A and B are shown apart, each in its own frame.
Chain A
């Protein structure tokens, strides 16, 4: 063979797609009507969302006492859910920003939906710092605004305040990054609407695309700003969950007071985020017929990231256990003894089996290239990561320094209802997104068409 094509790489886009076919495949769900499965999932999501909103209003109206918390365990499901959702969001930013800087072209098929997942996950996450407050109507006091209390400042020593800055920065940067990337695609939909004589759609997507003209200068600036935003978003992947981990690491409670949390939490976030991307993408590629774009190769690459980050999390668990023993600090030793053998041992072992054992199966090529196994494992990983945050928060709090305060925690129906509500909010938003936004970046996917192996020769 005279050409220098890379024979060992699988094509990123299958089935000999043309540029036009790419536009068609991705725009079709937006231009068509919803099918039955969409309506069923949407109805379930909206019901869950409304139930959750009701529980939240009940909490705000009657008090945090409607939750299962008590004088010893003052955070449980609220902060578990917060950290879980924020962690899930990190995969989207990594795929969009970090993989862009690393020039990983395979990110194109998943980055749009992964970023959408991030935006919606951060929305769900951001609810919790708000609703967990005893007096949410004064939540704006965490903002350093000039005021009439002699201009009273916020407390910059507090990790909760660092969270305010971290999460709001994360949300705004992710939103901007996601939206900028969407502009050329909205313009594509707009132009197709013009061609198909759909004036309302043309008008809406016209506004949403900010008059994108598609000329060379516009594309040039688009590429530049994508790089700039990727550069800004990349540190956020590491910093945001580091700051969230500081909520625990800077405390004095055994089981929380540990310097391993920042890297451990960041790895865990990417781990759970990629698992959630898998869960969503495996369903989406089937329902929206995008198997040619989100290929087995993509699934396999994501599984490799899951194995890597899952292994880091596993090493972190073992390190914690080792240090608890090696330090000789009785409180620390008891904290871990209690986790493994105390009243919440079942949560600890659920966490261990889901997070340490399951990602290791992806060492086998057959497993990491199997759609069904990947789907099942991705669900287990997310369950495991929820339990990890639950174990860290509740088992450390319920039995800390003084045994007189030792107590059990049980969630109330309101705790559970709010969590289900956030799943409903996420589902509702994601399903609406799937029908109105192009779920793959049309323009970016076209840019990798010709480098997909032997197709190049045919055109």
Chain B
């Protein structure tokens, strides 16, 4: 997957689409305030600050003060948006630490989350440097008053859910699956038609929903695909490359003309 940060406007359509497609539970205001939202895909928002590395060095400001001041946004900040989901790392820190091997790597390069195997030790989430994994803290789908925004067990409520995607139990870890249900469906269709999967057959919910086409999804190994072309772009980079996780998500860095703004 590639995400072009020049095109992202931070509208959040991708987040909504992902939630609808993957039966992501709605936890309510109180739980979100406690840091327990279930968003598989989130949009990180970075504001510029008046304090910068150069300014700290020039004015001799100590590291402690520099970092504290950096936490405050500038009066008229510039903003950068970064949609973040499971990076499907080829050297995933989450895969090695699960005691029951509930999270594995497919031979297509995706990180797989086996909900039925997960016993909920949460080490995978602790070890993820991107913090993209979400834990089911409560039973969200049993029709309780607190989580009434989720479809309850009754016939009518259940029709809201995507039948292609499992509803997760309490105590299970979940995360972006690159809409594996769509990929599997596309592979099956291609197999039945006796052809290879074409670039346009597969779309993730987020890529499909994005109004500016910032997100491109496809087969990186297919040299003709859009994603392969974008990933090879000179603007392309991996998030937290230095940690060595070898993600399958490439970001195309945002380019701003700062000199023109200042002129």
Contacts and interface: CB of A to CB of B under 8 A. Distances in A.
Interface in A130-181: 132-136, 138-139, 141-142, 152-155, 157-161, 164
B250 to A, nearest CB: 17
A252 B117 contact: no
A294 B108 CA distance: 66
B101 interface: yes
Contact of A75 (B84, B126, B131, B138): B126
A69 B46 CA distance: 25
Contacts of B127: 251-253
Q: Which 5 pairs across A and B sit closest by C-beta, in order of nearness? A: A134-B120, A134-B171, A65-B137, A70-B35, A155-B101
18 contacts: A63-B138, A68-B34, A69-B122, A70-B34, A74-B125, A134-B119, A134-B121, A134-B136, A134-B171, A134-B172, A135-B120, A142-B99, A142-B119, A161-B99, A253-B126, A253-B129, A401-B130, A402-B240
Contacts of B159: none
Most chain A CB within a 10 A radius of its CB, from B137, B170, B173, B240: B137
A325 to B, nearest CB: 10
Contacts of A65: 31, 36, 137-138
A160 B123 contact: yes
A135 B122 contact: no
A338 to B, nearest CB: 8
A157 B91 CA distance: 13
B64 A337 contact: yes
Contacts of B136: 63, 134
Interface in A242-257: 247, 250-253
Contacts of A213: none
A405 B131 contact: yes
A117 to B, nearest CB: 27
A232 interface: no
B139 interface: yes
Interface string B62-88: 011001000000000000000010000
B231 interface: no
Contacts of A333: 63
A401 B240 contact: yes
A404 B171 CA distance: 24
A36 interface: no
Contacts of B129: 252-253, 400-402
Nearest to B34: A70
A69 B173 CA distance: 14
B135 A134 contact: yes
Interface string A401-425: 1101101000000000000000000
Given A141-B119, A160-B97, A397-B126, A404 B84 contact: yes
A159 B126 CA distance: 13
A342 B38 CA distance: 27
B148 to A, nearest CB: 16
Given A74-B126, A155-B100, A404-B84, A62 B138 contact: yes
A142 B97 contact: no
Contact of B170 (A134, A139, A153, A247): A134
Contacts of A64: 120, 135, 137, 171
B122 A158 contact: no
B45 A404 contact: yes
A401 B243 contact: yes
Interface in B98-134: 98-101, 117-123, 125-127, 129-131, 133-134
A264 interface: no
Contacts of B64: 337, 341
A17 to B, nearest CB: 51
Interface string A305-317: 0000000000000
